[in-house]
Amino acid sequence: MSESGDPKKFEFRDDSDGPDNDSRRAAIEYDASRQSSDSSSDISYKNMGWKGVSDDEPEEALEKSEPIPEEELDMTPMIDVTFLLLIFFMVTASFTLQQSFEQPPAKSDEPSTNVAETEEVEDDYIEVLIDQNNIYYITTRDVEEEEAPSQTEMRTRVLDAKNSSNATRLIITAHVDSLHRNLVAVWDTGLLAGLQMEIKTTEEDY
């Protein structure tokens, strides 16, 4: 234990003092112990609490590893992994689908500022107007700009109008400041009623 000239002993003592490079030093120590056939050095390690490792042990383990007999091969992990992959791809595949509507491209570069244009249409149609406050106004053959304050009311009115007339088209005029969800609601109603639709936007306040 004293600081003698023996480098091995010194190394080992130093090891216990500083935690740095513990494993590396231990490895060096271990190597050194293997190289030396001197039994006295082995004893000194044991005195210091080194339990020592039998050199034969790992080799024994290697010898023991035999090829697994084929009838013992377990298929379970393979099946598990396969199902895992299957589920993964099923999930990712179903999530890439996006529910959507197909809509016509925008009509012109400028939003229409003139609502009176719609008068030129002669055949039966239903017009839904969404103003800047997101209130629906429904114009049908019978009523002019009837206010529908809620989405459900708009839906029932449009569907009623469709059933009571032979309207084939739905003209949606939306204020640029109206909400997208309201336009989608009208579009949805139109699809439900089986009407042909067109969208116009306006900047005119009501």
Partner 1 sequence: MADDDQSGIPKPKRKKEDAELDMTAMIDVTFLLLAFFVVVSKMDPQKTIDLPVASVTFNVPEKNCVVMVATADSSTETFKVYKGSSMNEADLIPLQDPDLLEEEVGAYVEDEFTRNPTKEAVLIKGEGDVRTGLIEMIKRGVNLSELAKTRKIHVAVEEK
64 vs 180 by CB, closer to partner 1: 180
From the centroid of its chain, how far is CA 130?
A: 35
130 vs 138 by CB, closer to partner 1: 130
138 vs 172 by CB, closer to partner 1: 172
Beta carbon of residue 152, minimum distance to partner 1 (angstroms, whole number):
12
**Closest CA relative to residue 172, chosen from 204, 190, 198, 153:** 198
Beta carbon of residue 144, minimum distance to partner 1 (angstroms, whole number):
23
Beta carbon of residue 127, minimum distance to partner 1 (angstroms, whole number):
16
| 3 state DSSP class of 154 | helix
Distance, in Å, from the CA atom of 191 to the CA atom of 185, rounded to the nearest integer, reads 10
Tell me if 178 sits within 8 A of 144, measured CB to CB.
Answer: no
Tell me if 132 sits within 8 A of 179, measured CB to CB.
Answer: no
Distance, in Å, from the CA atom of 199 to the CA atom of 6, rounded to the nearest integer, reads 94
45 vs 193 by CB, closer to partner 1: 193
Residues at the contact surface with partner 1, assessed by CB under 8 A: 76-77, 80, 84, 87-88, 91-92, 95-106, 109, 111, 130, 174-185, 187-188, 191-192, 199, 201, 203
Beta carbon of residue 161, minimum distance to partner 1 (angstroms, whole number):
18
